[in-house]
Structure 1
Amino acid sequence: MEAAAGPIVSVDKVWSTNHGQTGLNTGVTSEIAAFDAATNTIWVAGVVGVDVLNAGTGALVQHIDTSGFGSVNSVAIKNGVAAFAIENKTDRTQNGTVQFYNTATRANTGSVGVGALPDMLTFTPDGGKLLVANEATPTTYGGFDPAGSVSIIDMNTRAVIATPGFAGVSQQGGHIRTNTGMDFEPEYIAVSADGKKAFVGLQEANAMAVLDLASNTFEKVVGLGVKDFSAGGNEIDPNHKDNTISLRSAAVKGLYQPDGMATYQAGGKTYVVMANEGDTREDDGDKGRVKDSGLGGYPDDLKQLNISLTDSTSGADLVTFGARSFSIRDENGKLVYDSGNILDAEAIARLIYDDGRSDDKGVEPEGVALIEIGGRTLAFIGLERTKESAVALFDVTDPYNVSYLDMIVGGGDVSPEGLLAYSFGGDHYLAVAHEVSNTTTLYRLAAVPEPASLALFGLGLAGLGFARRRKNIQD
């Protein structure tokens, strides 16, 4: 461990709200959160509706029931407008809607039809456009599979002005898991600070699409390649039945397959931060254990590992889902940093690693949130599959010289799904929506000049003033 450059960040828990508690049993599952500065409220989306919480206290201000429209998958807020992504009520392979609400009155102000299964949405920095990721997954194996797309809504007219798809879009890079536009399923969208480009995660396809927001068309689809788990610093635990937790080198490659994404600027360039969760298509029969695959020549230690049956071949490295890490890429998809085995290793050190997930995707990095504090850009990475809520904290100010800071472990919270970092009234905050415990928790963040006492950390964050660096990826 070497001392971290820059300030130490203190983390203090402000409140935690259980959406299923007596008097607040709205039915909402805490999944995605958005902040409205005008009303100082946090809007938490989850299946049946959205709970609007007082950001100062965590108290419920209002529950907005969306069950009449369909299941709500995401919420985004800009300029006093809250946008909800709603899938089709009766058949999610059919077109969904975006429902709009006034954040002051919380009244519905209209809707716009979008593509199938709108799973995530985000505004451009100026609020002029709303981008909707239409994931368009089939419901059953071999069933109707709609085409994935992005709906681009002009917020001045509240109308869809373009719905770019993937047919005929140039593909480059390695290990794209499909070659048909029908199979690209947009998972997440991150927009550049200048609003000129959007980066669309195609998780199951192990790819990122670059969307030009001037022409509203896709420039290219970039394959994200694979991670080598036999390389030093990339070790994994591939076995959940050996009664031990141990990271070791394995002749396995991991598809990156990011879920949450975010962008930031460094040195005048745009970089994309990705949480490399890994996933299979919902109708995919491609997943199977090594021991059941018919592939030979692999050690017993790997036989429990879930792999891609189409990407793995006898006599070569196995290919599994997810990279058990977070990465930073440039705007062309080139990998400049990967956290290696830090996330799994730190979860093990905190005694919150779930060995039952070793055969699958480890801690499953899910969400990403970025914030600038004290002149440093900090990245928060939510880990979906740990025994308690875990959010890893990194200094990514220089994407070529990233420092691991520490891990926020939230007692009583389980499975962070959505992360939200924001500044308000001169203070900085991190809100974490937890899907399994059905809780939303708010933390206050502050820069503390070095040297600072580690006694600041009442949440078990001792060591937040120290860093571990991974070797960066360069030519």
Structure 2
Amino acid sequence: MRRLLLFALSLTIGFTSCKKDKNPTEEPDFFVNEDPTTFAEISTIDIGETGAAEISAYDPETKKLFVVKNENEGKPNQVNRIEVIDFKDPAAMKVIGNISVEPFGGAVNSLAVHSGKLAAAIQATDKTANGKVVVFKTSDHSVISQVTVGALPDMVTFSPDGRYIMSANEGEPNPTYTVDPEGSVSIISVNENYAVTTVNFSSMASQQTTLVQKGFRIFGPNSTFVKDIEPEYITIAEDSKTAWVTLQENNGIAKIDIASKTISNIFPLGFKDYNTAGNEIDPSDKSAGYVAAKWPVKGIYMPDAIAVLESNGIPYLFTANEGDAREYDTFIEAKRVSDKTVALDAVKFPNAADLKKEDQLGRLNITPTLGDIDGDGDLDELYSFGARSFSVWNGITGVQVFDSKNELDAKCADEKVYDDGRSDDKSVEPEGIAIGTVGHKKVAFVGMERADAVAVYDVTNPSGPVFLKLLKCGDAPEGLLFIPAKDSPTKKSLLVVSSEGDGVVKVYTSKTIS
């Protein structure tokens, strides 16, 4: 008996020592062995019509998925609420309730989750008035706090450490452009009873001339620097000390020091030259499919979503370069090149008559707010909206280190999801972006609103992303949510794509490598 006990003890010691050989911080093998090239759809759920399913957020504690549902805005049957979905089995999602946001204002624009808290960005009934960030418990959906922020809070996020909630307050003007609120960013201190500081961009106003010379835009009717800036989307560094905010209409990225609650820099993004190799575009919706060529046009990056990936001490900023034209009752920015009010400089464009034809540049939407270099009333350069790509920027210097050029267009054309009817506008319209770790690789997912697809890239080397595959999704994907394996109910990485065009949420997952 004693020998048996000793033998059993030795086995126990042996097994224990083997376990100690593994670094306790390492993830299990089934996390590490995931293959990002195998992502495929496993389920779908329809939660409404146009305007529903714009953004989703997941709570690993309750295994609930929270999804924005806005429908029939401005009509008697308007719906503004948050759908609650049982996500214990992502392959069999089901709606189990909802949270009305009507007591707090109008539409809910964005959601974020951290440590059992759900933050919702809710615009005021009057979009030019200050909105709110409302924080709910994910368990019973009761209100923890409601905080007044700037006008039209369009995106909300938690810092990685959960100490802060930040909202990008777009501050769009009213339809007649007679009221134009300040664009701002609100920083909410969770541990200080949700105290809020809302920061505008007045501290950078003295740099307007220099910024504009580098590609920043201030151009609204009777605009001022502070009122013209429209924050769109936020990403926060891993150490929760720095945030970067896209200023879409202005073609820039703002850098924010969170502790001091100050704007520390603005990076103008410049322009993309479609007359160079690799940047070829199809500018006409009248062509027979995707026909790419060099054209004397520049793209304004104007990014929507932004995500940060830190590598070797450098924060790399990934942007989805959607583009966006201002369109109001009294100010419609976009014009076609063929428009009779668009005069092309005879010296810079000696073939102007041909360029204005529909099968050339005539159908292309451009902005007349740029391009009159010598101030004589005609355009010496042509600037279109967006860059038909995603880019990577150094978060310290603002320098571009990568652009996908025309690869998104080309890949969508190859997969027969390219919408030639959008060639004259912003093409595939890269809008959403999410980054996560899948197996041994860092992976970026780029949602394209007009292609109804998501491009998957290996971004382990942030300055050299490599295309992996294309995922087809719902109509007009808006929200991309990556759920890492450690938080996933299946213990495998998940991608949740929310599409505002048809109100559909789709879930994708990867396979493991044997």
Both proteins in one fold, TM over 0.5: yes
- Alignment counterpart, residue 45 of structure 2, candidates 17, 37, 50: 17
Kindly state the Cα deviation for residue 83 of structure 1 after the two structures are TM-superposed. Answer: 0.7
C-alpha distance in 1 between matches for 2:280 and 2:364: 14
Does 2:320 align with 1:275? Answer: yes
Pairing of 1:240-259 with structure 2 (within 5 A): 240-259=285-304
Counterpart for residue 295 of structure 1: 343
Residue pair 1:94, 1:117 contacting (<8 A) in 2 also: yes
Q: 1:248 to 1:158 in 2, by over 3 A?
A: farther
- Alignment counterpart, residue 421 of structure 1, candidates 457, 468, 482: 482
Counterpart for residue 351 of structure 1: 416
Q: 1:206 to 1:378 in 2, by over 3 A?
A: same
Counterpart for residue 184 of structure 2: 149
Q: 1:123 to 1:359 in 2, by over 3 A?
A: same
SS at the partner of 1:168? helix
Does 2:419 align with 1:384? Answer: no
Pairing of 1:308-323 with structure 2 (within 5 A): 308-313=367-372, 314=378, 316-323=380-387
Kindly state the Cα deviation for residue 245 of structure 1 after the two structures are TM-superposed. Answer: 2.5
C-alpha distance in 2 between matches for 1:312 and 1:352: 33
Kindly state the Cα deviation for residue 14 of structure 1 after the two structures are TM-superposed. Answer: 2.1
Kindly state the Cα deviation for residue 160 of structure 1 after the two structures are TM-superposed. Answer: 3.5
Pairing of 1:377-416 with structure 2 (within 5 A): 377-386=442-451, 389-410=452-473, 413-416=474-477
C-alpha distance in 2 between matches for 1:158 and 1:330: 34
Worse-matched range after superposition: 208-217 or 67-76:
67-76
Kindly state the Cα deviation for residue 310 of structure 1 after the two structures are TM-superposed. Answer: 1.4
C-alpha distance in 2 between matches for 1:45 and 1:222: 31
Q: Quick one: which amino acid aligns to residue 259 of structure 1? A: D
SS at the partner of 1:237? coil
C-alpha distance in 2 between matches for 1:125 and 1:244: 44
Does 2:190 align with 1:129? Answer: no
- Alignment counterpart, residue 66 of structure 2, candidates 43, 61, 65: 43
Counterpart for residue 120 of structure 2: 84
Residue pair 1:200, 1:209 contacting (<8 A) in 2 also: yes
Pairing of 1:215-230 with structure 2 (within 5 A): 215-230=260-275
Kindly state the Cα deviation for residue 352 of structure 1 after the two structures are TM-superposed. Answer: 1.3
Deviations 1:284-308 (A, max 9, x none): 4321111114323331301111001
Q: 1:17 to 1:244 in 2, by over 3 A?
A: closer
- TM-score by structure 1 length? 0.88
Does 2:380 align with 1:340? Answer: no
Does 2:393 align with 1:329? Answer: yes
Residue pair 1:13, 1:441 contacting (<8 A) in 2 also: yes
Kindly state the Cα deviation for residue 7 of structure 1 after the two structures are TM-superposed. Answer: 5.3
Counterpart for residue 285 of structure 1: 332
C-alpha distance in 2 between matches for 1:214 and 1:131: 12
Worse-matched range after superposition: 196-205 or 311-320:
311-320
Kindly state the Cα deviation for residue 28 of structure 1 after the two structures are TM-superposed. Answer: 6.8
Kindly state the Cα deviation for residue 334 of structure 1 after the two structures are TM-superposed. Answer: 0.9
Deviations 1:127-168 (A, max 9, x none): 101001111101213320010111111112343332111013
Unaligned runs of 5+ in 1: 1-5, 450-475
C-alpha distance in 2 between matches for 1:186 and 1:229: 27
The structure whose Rg is larger is 2
- Alignment counterpart, residue 150 of structure 2, candidates 111, 115, 136: 115
Identity %: 38
Does 2:327 align with 1:304? Answer: no
- TM-score by structure 2 length? 0.81
Counterpart for residue 84 of structure 2: 52
C-alpha distance in 2 between matches for 1:152 and 1:234: 38
Unaligned runs of 5+ in 2: 1-33, 71-79, 219-223, 373-377
RMSD across aligned positions (CA): 1.8
Residue pair 1:72, 1:87 contacting (<8 A) in 2 also: yes
Residue pair 1:373, 1:446 contacting (<8 A) in 2 also: no
Q: Quick one: which amino acid aligns to residue 247 of structure 2? A: L
Worse-matched range after superposition: 355-364 or 8-17:
8-17
Q: 1:233 to 1:62 in 2, by over 3 A?
A: same
Pairing of 1:259-270 with structure 2 (within 5 A): 259-270=304-315
- Alignment counterpart, residue 54 of structure 2, candidates 31, 49, 55: 31
- Alignment counterpart, residue 279 of structure 2, candidates 234, 242, 247: 234
Residue pair 1:11, 1:446 contacting (<8 A) in 2 also: yes
Does 2:420 align with 1:372? Answer: no
Deviations 1:160-180 (A, max 9, x none): 332111013146652111171
Worse-matched range after superposition: 357-366 or 64-73:
64-73
Q: Quick one: which amino acid aligns to residue 290 of structure 1? A: V
SS at the partner of 2:121? strand
Kindly state the Cα deviation for residue 52 of structure 1 after the two structures are TM-superposed. Answer: 1.2
Kindly state the Cα deviation for residue 373 of structure 1 after the two structures are TM-superposed. Answer: 1.3
Higher-strand-fraction structure: 1
Residue pair 2:145, 2:194 contacting (<8 A) in 1 also: no
Residue pair 1:28, 1:51 contacting (<8 A) in 2 also: no
Q: Quick one: which amino acid aligns to residue 209 of structure 1? A: A
Worse-matched range after superposition: 257-266 or 242-251:
242-251
Residue pair 2:147, 2:196 contacting (<8 A) in 1 also: no
- Alignment counterpart, residue 102 of structure 2, candidates 52, 59, 67: 67
Q: Quick one: which amino acid aligns to residue 365 of structure 2? A: N
Q: 1:137 to 1:160 in 2, by over 3 A?
A: farther
Higher-helix-fraction structure: 2
Worse-matched range after superposition: 160-169 or 129-138:
160-169
Residue pair 2:326, 2:334 contacting (<8 A) in 1 also: no
